[in-house]
Amino acid sequence: MNISNQGISNQQYKVIPRTLIFLFDAQNRVLLLKGSPKKKRWANAYNGIGGHVEPHEDVMEAALREMAEETGIKNVDLLFCGQLMVDASDEAGVALFVFKGRYHSKELIHSEDGKLKWIALDELSRYPVMEDLYELLPRIAAYKLVDPLIIGKYMFEPGGSLIVSFSQEAFEEN
């Protein structure tokens, strides 16, 4: 099928592909990036590592590139955990491709995107983290290769409050 047969039109919903990576250490702490005060999105808040998928990249290539750019970390095996749709409007949204990995070195390299910090999952409430992380991070931390992919969507109420839903539960409360 050639490009002209892809059926893309201006009337269809468009998505911006982005990656979101969570690295965990031996103590099961997660490495989060505190957004620079200069960032347009999530300034001064902690979030996962990641960013846009560039032209001619697949999502794994984009995740590895973003991880290296934002942390200096390379050669970490990443596991694809799932995909989230973020409804930004009736015309466009964001497709987040979520990955996790293990990082065992203590060396962290901060970037212009922000400062890196290891945070225990049970201490998330002590930090200004992006609001979706309270629901997403336990699922990512518990995710194993044999689990169904985590599939979810983020929508916003008219007042701007975030609504998070997951269509498959790969996470079970103990």
Q: Is the pLDDT of residue 174 over 50?
A: no
Within a domain: 174: no
Q: What is the mean pLDDT of residues 10-19?
A: 86
pLDDT in tens, 89-109: 777 899 999 999 999 887 777
pLDDT at 32: 96
Within a domain: 161: yes
Within a domain: 6: no
Within a domain: 23: yes
CA 65 to chain centre: 14
Within a domain: 173: no
Within a domain: 5: no
Within a domain: 57: yes
**Amino acid symbol at 95:** A
**Domains identified in the chain, total number:** 1
What's the CATH code of the domain at 57? 3.90.79.10
Q: Do residues 76 and 103 lie in contact, with contact meaning Cβ atoms separated by under 8 Å?
A: yes
Q: Do residues 25 and 38 lie in contact, with contact meaning Cβ atoms separated by under 8 Å?
A: no
What range defines the domain where residue 123 resides? 12-166
User: With bands split at pLDDT 50, 70 and 90, how would you rate the model's confidence at 144?
Assistant: very high
Within a domain: 7: no
